[in-house]
Amino acid sequence: MQASEIAAIVERAAGPEVSPEAQDTAARLSALLRHVFLYDRGSQLRVIEESGLSLTQCKVLLELGGLGEETEPRQLGELAERFGVSVPSMSRAVDAMVKKKLVTRVEDADDRRVRRVAITAKGKKLVETLVVVRQAGMEAFAATLSAAQRRKLDAAIESLMDRDDIAAAYAHLREVGHP
């Protein structure tokens, strides 16, 4: 990420359109996520580190891995736009993932000049490992909560289940045996 992009993010975060209440909620959520992310000694970070993937590559792999369903191969430009990087940067990230056999470049069915990026079985296995490690860390953290804390947290999360993106992720985790 370029310094100008970081400055724009910081400027937006400090902008007047975010209410003090929303800023406080964000700070609480950040504190919780930081704690949960590092609770199990950073196991998920360790898996990412050991994979040798950059954060951009990890995000692409998780995007292509979907929520367990088959996902369509994606155009390089589409991935670059999704993650806010240049097409040449995305191309280099994908090239490295192709060398690791985590993704392949496939011909577009409608336009043979267009190449799409598809996840491989090895890539799917890494995505599943990341999901399992993250879930184990979350379970370990949840086990430390009192019954009252867990009920309050469940109630707060339940209020967000009307969002399709959150509901879909939850449904997938339940389906693969991580209730």
pTM, whole model, 2 decimals?
A: 0.78
- The predicted structure's pLDDT at residue 8: 62
Report pLDDT for 179. 45
Q: Tell me how far the alpha carbon of residue 83 is from its chain's centroid.
A: 11
Q: Which CATH number, 1.10.10.10, 1.20.1250.20, 1.10.3720.10, 1.10.150.530, labels domain 20-144?
A: 1.10.10.10
Domain positions in the chain are 20-144
What is the identity of the amino acid at 173?
A: L
Please return the burial class of 130, using the count of CB atoms within 10 Å of its CB with bins 0-12, 13-18 and 19+: buried
Residue 105's contacts (CB-CB under 8 Å, 6 or more residues apart) are 94, 98, 115, 116, 117, 118
Number of H helices, E strands in the chain: 9, 3
The CA–CA distances, whole Å, from 125 to 74, 148, 154, 161, 169 equal: 19, 36, 29, 27, 18
pLDDT in tens, the chain (179 residues): 556 666 666 666 555 688 888 888 888 888 988 888 787 888 888 888 999 999 899 999 999 987 656 678 999 999 999 999 999 999 999 999 999 999 999 888 888 888 899 999 999 999 989 888 888 888 989 999 999 999 999 999 999 999 998 888 888 777 766 54
The residue length of the chain stands at 179
Whole-number Cα distances in Å, 24 to 27, 50, 158, 159: 5, 35, 20, 18
Residue 93 is predicted with a pLDDT of 96
Q: How far apart are CA 64 and CA 123, in angstroms?
A: 9
- Which one-letter DSSP state was computed for residue 93? H
Tell me, what's the pLDDT at 110?
Answer: 84
